[in-house]
Structure formats: structure tokens, C-alpha cells
Amino acid sequence: MFTELNSILNTSPDSFTQGEFILVSDRQSDASFLIHHFLSFYLRARCKVCFVGLVQSYSHYSAVSQRLGVSLAQAKEKGQLIFLEGLKESLSILNPQEADTGSQAMDFLRDPAVGLRSLYEFVRSGLSSSDGGEDEWGPPVLLVDDLSVLLSLGVSVGAALDFSHYCRATVCSQKQGNVVMLARCDGEEDEEDDGDDEGEGSERLLKGLSHQCSLALQVRGLPTGYCRDIHGQVEVCWRRRQADGQHTQKKLFQYKVHDKGASFFARGTSSAVL
């Protein structure tokens, strides 16, 4: 958990905004350190967490969380953490000898026609269960690392956006919990896609998610290139709907990731009303 980032976002495990959809994105950079931050943050806040890990193994997330002072093993044992190891589930489906093992959350790999209904049901049922007592945990939280992986597995942009919409409606609106999703784009922001369906899909996915979120953290490399002391920059964008329209405030920071944390350096602010 990064205390400097908590200060920027004006939040803490003891006091945080509920009902938020937080979008983490990166472009020619790596924003995974923010996913690790939010995982450790919400576990420290004693939230019931459903983590859909589509990029790394459970052991990877566990090792990083351990360095941040959080034990995923203990959280799972207590019923606080529901973890879907997407890589392992995918292999169990794609390997004919193990086709009937594991959960049904990744059923879209067996039959693309079913879409992401099973994955949504996994999230809904996981955050609806009351292991260890209904009042033991705080607001439910869904973390997805990362949603754009689904596009490379044959899921359409529309289906991925529908999944995020239903998760937001269930977790944020109905249960007053939070959703954190990571999405990646490999190309330049102003780059035209010349027949690159996957690249175009990731751009459309990111734009669709941007319309849904209330808080966006966009990670990019430095415009000047590699720097040993600064690893990149992150733009924090708050979106708040009010009677006179949607108000957007942006702040730009440079950051450096350490073994057990990250440092952030303010570079400028801007605000606008859309």
C-alpha cells in the first residue's frame, strides 16, 4: 500500500469513498504496481475482495502483497479474499485431460456464445457469500487484472463492456462497494489503427471504460524517454456528475516504484467542466 498515493487520492483504509468505479490504464508502460496497491489497500480496509487475476499467477500476486505487508493466504483462509487464477483456469479448459476441472467462470473459452455470464456470476456469488459472518467484512470490492486480456481470448469489446457495466451496477450501485479494473493499450494515444483489430479493440475498450469510471489513473512512460530516477508519469482524473454537468479534475505526477512502495512527485494540475 502506497501512503503517498493515498494522500493524493485523499483516502485511507479507515475512510474511503464507496460506490466508485476506478479505472487503471497504461500505455507503453506498466501500471500493475497500482493493482497491487489497491489489493493491499482494500484488504487492509477489511473489505470482502474478489480478485480476477488474468495476467499473473496467484504466487506472483501473493509474493508482491507479502512485500507490501499483506498475506493473501490468510485473507483466503478467513474468507475475505476470493481469487480467480485466470491462467490456471484457462489451462484446465484448454488441456483436454483437465477440461472438467476448475470453476465455470471461464466457460467462454469452451463456448464463446455464452459470453461472460459465468464470469459475472462468479463475481456476484463470490461477493454475495458471507463466509465467517455476514457483518465481518466491509463493502465488497472487485479487482480485475486486466480486462483487456479478454480481447485476446476472443471476447468482443461489447461483451467486455457489458461485463464491466453489470459489475459496476451490482458492486458499486447495489452493494455500495468499489470496482478497480486495469486495461492496457499498446499503441500511441493519437496513433491510427491500420487494420490492427486487437489494437483498435483495446482503444475502444479503454474509451468505453473511461465513460463508466469515476476515478481514472493513467500510467505512461516519460515523454523524454528512460530515466533512472523517475519510472514514468501517472495522470489522476476525478469525474463527478453534478447538476450542471460532469466536472473533471486532473493532476499529473511522476513516480518511482521501490521494492516496498512508490514515490510520487507533482508535476501540474488542470481542471475542466464537460
Domain locations in the chain as residue ranges = 3-188+196-273
Whether residue 273 has pLDDT greater than 80: no
**Cell numbers at 2, concatenated:** 502506497
Predicted local confidence at residue 177, as pLDDT: 97
Predicted local confidence at residue 274, as pLDDT: 40
Quick: pLDDT tens for 179-189.
999 999 876 66
Closest CA to 106 of 96, 124, 118: 118
Predicted local confidence at residue 195, as pLDDT: 45
Categorize the per-residue pLDDT at 43 as very low, low, confident or very high, splitting at 50, 70 and 90.
very high
Predicted local confidence at residue 271, as pLDDT: 45
Predicted local confidence at residue 178, as pLDDT: 98
Predicted local confidence at residue 131, as pLDDT: 52
Selected residue with higher pLDDT from 195 and 145? 145
Q: Which residues contact 252 (CB under 8 A, 6 or more apart)?
A: 233, 234, 235, 236, 266, 267, 268, 269, 270
Total H helices, total E strands in the chain: 9, 9
Tell me the β-bridge partners of 231.
none
Residue 233: left (phi > 0), alpha (psi -120 to 50), or beta? beta
- Please provide the average confidence, as pLDDT, over all residues in the chain: 86
Distance (Å, rounded) from C-alpha 185 to C-alpha 75? Answer: 32
Tell me the β-bridge partners of 85.
53
What mean pLDDT is predicted for residues 110-123?
Answer: 89
Can you point out the beta strands (E) in the chain? 21-27, 47-53, 81-85, 138-145, 178-185, 215-220, 232-242, 245-257, 262-273
| 230 three-class SS | coil
Residue at grid coordinates 454537468: 245
Fold of 3-188+196-273: Rossmann fold (3.40.50)
Predicted local confidence at residue 198, as pLDDT: 57
Categorize the per-residue pLDDT at 130 as very low, low, confident or very high, splitting at 50, 70 and 90.
low
